[in-house]
Amino acid sequence: MKPKFKTVLTSVIIGVFLLLVDILSKSTVNRHLPFEKVRETVFPFLNLYRTHNTGYHFIFGNINNHFLWALAGLVFVTILLVSLIHSLIKEDLDRANRFIYAAILSLTIGATGNILEILFIGYATDFFIFKPFPWPSNLCDQYINAILYIALPVIIIRSVIESVKRKRMSSSGEDIKEMKDQ
């Protein structure tokens, strides 16, 4: 198997595993954790708190037509997944970018749990609170946070660094050419 296809296959398998962990954790929580009652844990920064989020985030509140929004989210995620797979297979990525794209692919697949839960049940199950943040969360939310606050900044920083390197190389090349012309 070609290395690029192996990377995609591995990423998809990891993503499906993350999605299953999310689905199983929500199923377990919905059966065993009381609804909207705080349960303290041995960790001072973590409480368990099961609630059902019918919007996409407590910050945005309740969003009407959740089914249509979930379908739109599914379309967006599908486009993102196809784009990531295409980039991993067709583009000549260095090792670091290949790893980052593969991680985003896996995390995106795992993050579809909220969309699927909203489509099939009508709400997403949130079940823990990380202090000091006041709102409940779930594993899908953490997958999304990893993409937004870790992977994308790394891509942006690497892109800026590469751009600066290219500019330096081209300007030093122009300086050498100017010196030769004189």
Q: What is the pLDDT of residues 134-168, one digit of tens each?
A: 889 999 999 999 999 999 999 999 999 999 999 99
Tokens representing residue 133 in the block:
């943040």
Integer Rg of the chain from CA: 22
What are the boundaries of each domain within the chain?
Answer: 3-141
Q: What is the pLDDT of residues 54-100, one digit of tens each?
A: 765 544 555 566 777 788 888 999 999 999 999 999 999 999 999 99
